[in-house]
Structure 1
Amino acid sequence: MIEQRVSELFRGADPGDGPALPEGYAERLVAVGRRGVRRRRALGGSVLLVVLLAVGLLGLGPLPSRSPQPATPTAGVGLPDRLAPFSFRTGTIGDAPLDRAVMIFEYGSGETINVWQRLALGADGNSYRQLDGIAPGTPWLLTADGRAVVTTEANRATSAFTVLDLSTGLRHQFRLPAPAAVALLAASPDGRYVAYSAAPYQGSTSIIGEVEQIARERGTLTLLDLTDGRSTTVTGVESVSAAAFSPDGESLAVQSGAETWIVDRAGRRLRRVDIPHGFVLAPRVAWSPDGRLLAVQPADPFSGAGASDPHQVRFVDAVSDAPVPPPVSAEQLLGWRSSDRILTLTLGGISELPVGGGDPVVLTRLDRGSSCEYHTQPCLALEIRAATALLPTLTVRSGDDPDRGPWPAPVRQVAAAVSLLVAALAGVLVWRLRPRWSRAGQRGRMVLAKRRR
């Protein structure tokens, strides 16, 4: 439209006494002007594209390597003095593996919206990673050495165990002889064996925990060897709802129905343990490091033995009828620091508690700030599991500068999209203001030229 008007002006202009314009001069002049405009637009578009790409790449944040390398071995074992706040920028095991995990827990809130992460805390006490690829509600077990996580299938018969190697981020599967209802029970101190209860079962259910309950009520004790994937049935040990390996890994304490037994890995019953009425074996972590004590807890925390104190932990002698320490109160028994100290979850956080009595010493304080649900709700730490073989040597370290690894892929994608959008809006704004700046520059040059005259 503008080019047509310019051509009409040239045709309708009175040349006066001036020389006649060559034929087609106006058209050629307009064509030259159009080429100049196209070149300037192409140059401006190219510059804008480069800017958009640069800003978009900056929005990706730290990038993981294409092939994550095995994690560097950590020196010593630690717990942070406080748990790091919730963050969507916490990377995954698949992008940045850990050497070992001292603890795995679920972290988040569900007050208004469900915002949860299943996190591994590295043995250095400072590194946090999300356990990617494990669906919500999937049963899992951390090995005692902190090097692997074993999972079964959620709310259905399990046909294969999935083992996540925390040091490489790789997964491998060990198939069962036949699909079954499975309940993971305990891990041996050396990280080789996993004890589980298995019962014949087909199909699936929508009720969370129903398949595990079937395995505990009807299942037989079975041992999975993580070195070769073979499962060995411990014949005659049935209806096992809880278990704990001895410190040497050669025998297990099992809760078989209402009875508690010490059995070896071949299934021979070595000794029956008398425990207080209404109490059952504490799952996974019952046995003390010296092999003398077993920890027990109320079968029902809200009635019977648990009515007076739902969080009480009592002790029984595993080898004789010798006197035992008095009960202690703890929300959850996480493991043993030594033969006379336990690691527990208390109102103050993760604490060390003397078995013989005394006040707990808080090692790790839980984040009570409103860092969940977009900084509107406090975070909760649930389903805490510790690598029990690492607890005797752990120390407390500063948690002020947590290592979260490279940003997870969804966060990088959102950040890149937002950065590109902002850069595009900025580019459009600059392009729209360019004519004004050009006219302002021309006026400035004219004023400057007049002043020079």
Structure 2
Amino acid sequence: MRELFATLPDDPPPLPPGYLDAVLTRGRRSVRRQRIGIAAVGMVVVLLLAVLVVPGVQLPLQTAAPSTKPSLPDRFAGYSMLTSTVTSGPPGRAIALYGYGNGEAFNMFQSLVVGAHRDTYRRVDAMEQRDRPSALLAPDGTRVLTGDERGATGDLVLVDLTTGRRRSIPLGDPVGVRLLAWSPDGRHVAYSAAPLTGSGEFGTVNVVEAEVARIGTLRLLDLSTGRSTEVPAIKPAWTASFAPDSRRLAVQVGQAAHLIDIDGHEYGSVQITAGRELAANVAWSPDGRFLATVPWLYDGPFNGTTGGDTGHGTFLWKVGNVEFLPLTGADTPPAPVTDVVQLLGWRSAGSVVVAATNDAGHASLAEVRLDSGNRRTMSRFDTGHSCELGTQPCQLFDLHLATGLLPDLTVRTAGRPRRGPWPTPVNAVLGVVVLGVALLLWRRRRARTRSRRPGGDSPRA
């Protein structure tokens, strides 16, 4: 090193003219570019994070305040994997509960509620965690009650749609459960229960509901106390509907509708036409005069102990008619309502709301006048090829309406679906993408900055 330094001249050669100014200018330029690069990366991160957050944020400025009256969208939104859950973003009062999706290649089903005042869609995660069992929507649209069809269960789960909270309702010893009807005042639920002799785990095959429909005993649940009362004489309870006063109910056993009070005392019965059953949960007319019946979904024999089909988990496709049974001989029943897939409730004593399908399999909701048979389409479902990653049409099943809201129901023009905050897995994937993009931009900017410095490693012309 000494020999090397000895070769240097005592007086170093003069710097080129303007060299110092050029170095300072380049240095300032490098600092500016570095700062601009950092700011650009920050803006990218902020924008991408905003994409994650904005779907779940309700803007303070709304185009219009939600109506105080319950309403039904004139078109239900299509399938979306970005729909949030009730737990993550409580939707508030709901007008409908339904299953949606397809399973041709792989199961992509959702249990959904849609808002009664705006186009809010949420997945009912409590149902999905129990493999989407049958459930009931409260008449006022604020709660969902679900059982468990993977096997015998020791509780029912009550989901509050306004808060997202869940309440476990113990049943005692584990039993198989089939939910039947919810009283108009929201206090009582009728269900059928039976011990299961199997292993208690049936996988994807729903043996639970069929077994309970075969030997299940009626129970009446008081939601205010959480207590269930068994009615041993009503067995096997097949389907049921509460009266408008919430103090009586009709329960089908075989081909008879047994009329009982809320304490389980029977005071009469009505014979049901062979091959027909009470319309689940909505059979009793608002004026208390008639019981609505529908055809069995199952075409084989049913005598109350064998055969039959509950229809849970079956796509809405089979067209039939709704017929009415008078509770007294003095009343003349209305004419049958034809071309119905499912009876969903009553607007009044003179009109009903039904689900229907056209020749292409597209589902719709309609109001039908009983005196004239006039039909008005209220809403349609998107059943296009948007399920299973766009390869299959979407199917509809387990459809319920908030029956207590139907008398005041209006129809609103559907707007942009409000699906809530994106699900955690989606946010996790996008978060990784955001961080990866930010790191890549930062490293590229840093490398370019180093290459422009005097004495940098990159070759110069």
Q: Which position in structure 2 is the counterpart of 1:120?
A: 113
Pick one of 197, 206, 210 that aligns with 1:209.
206
Against the structure 1 CA distance between its residues 337 and 13, is the aligned structure 2 distance closer, same or farther, given a 3 Å change threshold?
farther
Q: Which position in structure 2 is the counterpart of 1:22?
A: none
For structure 2, the residue ranges without an aligned partner over 5 or more in a row are 13-26, 58-64, 303-307, 309-317, 358-362
Against the structure 1 CA distance between its residues 370 and 437, is the aligned structure 2 distance closer, same or farther, given a 3 Å change threshold?
farther
> 2:54 aligns to what SS in structure 1?
coil
Q: Which position in structure 1 is the counterpart of 2:355?
A: 345
Against the structure 1 CA distance between its residues 199 and 245, is the aligned structure 2 distance closer, same or farther, given a 3 Å change threshold?
same
Q: Which position in structure 1 is the counterpart of 2:68?
A: 75
In the TM superposition, residue 395 of structure 1 has moved relative to its aligned partner by 0.2
Q: Distance in 2 between matches of 1:287 and 1:412?
A: 46
Pick one of 316, 319, 323 that aligns with 2:332.
323
For 1:136-285, what aligned pairs fall within 5 Å after superposition? 136-201=131-196, 203-206=199-202, 208-285=205-282
Q: Distance in 2 between matches of 1:435 and 1:370?
A: 52
Q: Which position in structure 1 is the counterpart of 2:396?
A: 381
> 2:126 aligns to what SS in structure 1?
coil
Do 1:224 and 1:231's aligned partners in 2 also have CA atoms closer than 8 Å? yes
Do 2:189 and 2:223's aligned partners in 1 also have CA atoms closer than 8 Å? yes
Q: Distance in 1 between matches of 2:174 and 2:110?
A: 29
Q: Distance in 2 between matches of 1:377 and 1:211?
A: 29
The one-letter code of the counterpart of 2:353 is: L
In the TM superposition, residue 330 of structure 1 has moved relative to its aligned partner by 0.5
The one-letter code of the counterpart of 1:57 is: L
Do 1:182 and 1:212's aligned partners in 2 also have CA atoms closer than 8 Å? yes
The one-letter code of the counterpart of 1:199 is: A
Q: TM-score, normalised by structure 1?
A: 0.80
Q: Distance in 2 between matches of 1:407 and 1:64?
A: 7
Against the structure 1 CA distance between its residues 433 and 54, is the aligned structure 2 distance closer, same or farther, given a 3 Å change threshold?
same
Mean Cα deviation higher: 330-339 or 135-144:
135-144
Give CA-to-partner distance per residue, 1:165-213, whole Å, 9 cap, x none. Answer: 1111111111113222211110000111110112233641316331222
Q: Does residue 390 in structure 1 map to residue 385 in structure 2?
A: no
Q: Distance in 1 between matches of 2:66 and 2:224?
A: 21
Do 2:151 and 2:176's aligned partners in 1 also have CA atoms closer than 8 Å? yes
In the TM superposition, residue 12 of structure 1 has moved relative to its aligned partner by 7.3
Q: Does residue 131 in structure 1 map to residue 124 in structure 2?
A: yes
Against the structure 1 CA distance between its residues 51 and 438, is the aligned structure 2 distance closer, same or farther, given a 3 Å change threshold?
farther
> 1:416 aligns to what SS in structure 2?
helix
Q: Which position in structure 2 is the counterpart of 1:30?
A: none
In the TM superposition, residue 382 of structure 1 has moved relative to its aligned partner by 1.9
Mean Cα deviation higher: 334-343 or 206-215:
206-215
> 1:93 aligns to what SS in structure 2?
coil
Q: Distance in 2 between matches of 1:200 and 1:284?
A: 23
The one-letter code of the counterpart of 2:320 is: H
For structure 1, the residue ranges without an aligned partner over 5 or more in a row are 1-6, 20-35, 66-71, 448-453
Q: Which position in structure 2 is the counterpart of 1:409?
A: 424
In the TM superposition, residue 419 of structure 1 has moved relative to its aligned partner by 2.0
The one-letter code of the counterpart of 1:351 is: A
> 2:234 aligns to what SS in structure 1?
strand
The one-letter code of the counterpart of 2:327 is: A
Q: Distance in 1 between matches of 2:381 and 2:6?
A: 84
The one-letter code of the counterpart of 1:117 is: Q
Against the structure 1 CA distance between its residues 296 and 341, is the aligned structure 2 distance closer, same or farther, given a 3 Å change threshold?
same
In the TM superposition, residue 436 of structure 1 has moved relative to its aligned partner by 5.4
Q: Which position in structure 2 is the counterpart of 1:29?
A: none
Q: Which position in structure 1 is the counterpart of 2:79?
A: 86
Against the structure 1 CA distance between its residues 216 and 321, is the aligned structure 2 distance closer, same or farther, given a 3 Å change threshold?
farther
Aligned residue pairs, count: 408
Against the structure 1 CA distance between its residues 417 and 13, is the aligned structure 2 distance closer, same or farther, given a 3 Å change threshold?
farther
Do 1:59 and 1:415's aligned partners in 2 also have CA atoms closer than 8 Å? no
Q: Does residue 60 in structure 1 map to residue 57 in structure 2?
A: no
Q: Percent identity?
A: 37
In the TM superposition, residue 435 of structure 1 has moved relative to its aligned partner by 4.9
The one-letter code of the counterpart of 1:103 is: A
Q: Which position in structure 2 is the counterpart of 1:451?
A: none
Do 2:156 and 2:169's aligned partners in 1 also have CA atoms closer than 8 Å? yes
Q: Which position in structure 1 is the counterpart of 2:384?
A: 369
The one-letter code of the counterpart of 2:342 is: Q
Against the structure 1 CA distance between its residues 170 and 427, is the aligned structure 2 distance closer, same or farther, given a 3 Å change threshold?
same
Q: Distance in 1 between matches of 2:119 and 2:41?
A: 40
In the TM superposition, residue 59 of structure 1 has moved relative to its aligned partner by 4.7
